[in-house]
Amino acid sequence: MTAAGARTTTVRQKVVAVVVPIVAGLAGAVVLTARLVPWWAALAGWVGVAALLVAVAAAIPVRTAGLVPRPAPCGSFDEAMARLDSGVRARERDGVHLLGVTRLWDHGRRTEQVAVLFHGLSNGPHSMTALGPRLHAAGWTVLAPRLPRHGHADLATDALRRLTAEELRDAADEAVDIAAGLGRSVAVLGISGGGVVAAWAGQFRREVDRAVLVAPMFGLGGFGARLNAVVVRLALALPSVSLWKDPRLKADHPGLGHNYKRMHSRAVGETGRLGVAVRRAARSVPPAAASAAVVTNAADRAVTGSLAVRMGDLWARWIPVDRHEFPPSARLGHELIDPADPEGDVAVTYPVLLRLLGAAGA
């Protein structure tokens, strides 16, 4: 999302921003080749080559076989704190800025309830610094982990170009392992890309009692299910493309001060690959979580709400699934949690999210 006054672009506009240079390059190739052969032959030849490359890339199967859990849950509060310090925090000592580090709100002991809050793709744990304390004040322990390759001091970094679904899987495993020692009942909540991570934890980790998916990024906004499946395959097969959140200001875009200023197509593809793994498993295997909730936003331009609904339908065959959709009249943007986002309204969203987590009085 963008800071107040900055220009926003839809997902379709960003896709167009990627496609236009490709088309321009193709046109240049046609012009050069037309010096050697008739123009119609040059055009037909290059269009055929481009179509073949896209068709091959789109047909490559999405590999998900290795995206299975590797559980090693902590058995006590002290073990969880030790692993947090020796693993998570040790990795954050270099290159991660203060607003990008993992956050923990604890009570110095194991509590009855613990929540793991997964931030969205290109955002960070700082987006949870209003929701986390609300839960903590209600007696919960709250862990907001930093997802891999996030939180760098350089907000215009290209770190997300190298993000993988395996890294997201490992982050979910580690967070649930630690949470198991911090509290007796574990709830996971994730937004956008973090919603897919929460879905993976809810599907595969038996330590999770409840999974809450908030505008999960199972597909890009403006595209249907079939086209999104092609988008994921292309994003995985083709070289990663950098997408500035504001194509006019680029690195000068003010943002929120803690989230990245650009996205990468490979990160979108790898997040989509994790989502494919979750959906494939949910078709035939009950989720590990005992219950779930799916939150969508009718005005969301960034993700496809229908795919989130389908995820809820898959789980509803096995477990109770609560659902909530914020209506267009709420005029909410994609970011429903970060209080710094001008297109959000936590006065509207937090009561719903807290209720769905089971902390209505927080």
CA angle, 207 then 211 then 212, to 5°: 155
Indicate the range of 34-43, 162-171, 306-315, 349-358 predicted with least confidence: 34-43
Question: pLDDT class for 50, splitting at 50, 70, 90?
Answer: low
User: What is residue 150's predicted lDDT score, i.e. its pLDDT?
Assistant: 97
How many Å apart are CA 332 and CA 57, to the nearest integer? 35
pLDDT tens per residue across span 153-183: 999 999 999 999 999 999 999 999 999 999 9
How many Å apart are CA 198 and CA 174, to the nearest integer? 12
User: What is residue 83's predicted lDDT score, i.e. its pLDDT?
Assistant: 97
User: What is residue 206's predicted lDDT score, i.e. its pLDDT?
Assistant: 98
User: What is residue 2's predicted lDDT score, i.e. its pLDDT?
Assistant: 36
Query: 346: Cβ–Cβ under 8 A, 6 or more apart, which residues?
Result: 130, 131, 337, 339
Question: pLDDT class for 7, splitting at 50, 70, 90?
Answer: very low
User: Is the model's pLDDT at 226 over the cut of 90?
Assistant: no
User: Is the model's pLDDT at 327 over the cut of 50?
Assistant: yes
The domain 77-357 belongs to what CATH superfamily? Alpha/Beta hydrolase fold, catalytic domain (3.40.50.1820)
User: Is the model's pLDDT at 122 over the cut of 80?
Assistant: yes
Average pLDDT over every residue of 43-72:
78
Residue located via tokens 């055929």: 48
Chain-wide mean pLDDT for the chain?
89
pLDDT tens per residue across span 177-215: 999 999 999 999 999 999 999 999 999 999 999 999 999
Residue located via tokens 């709400």: 305
Percent of the chain exceeding pLDDT 90 equals 72
Edge-first strand order for the sheet with 183-191 is 103-105, 141-144, 111-118, 183-191, 208-214, 291-297, 321-326
How many Å apart are CA 150 and CA 157, to the nearest integer? 9
Least Cα distance to 288 among 229, 215, 352, 201 occurs for 201
Question: pLDDT class for 253, splitting at 50, 70, 90?
Answer: confident
Q: Other C-beta atoms within 10 Å of 280: how many?
A: 16
> pTM for the whole thing?
0.88
How many Å apart are CA 276 and CA 281, to the nearest integer? 9
Considering just the CA atoms, what is the radius of gyration of the chain in Å? 21
How many Å apart are CA 124 and CA 121, to the nearest integer? 8
User: Is the model's pLDDT at 357 over the cut of 60?
Assistant: yes
User: What is residue 114's predicted lDDT score, i.e. its pLDDT?
Assistant: 98
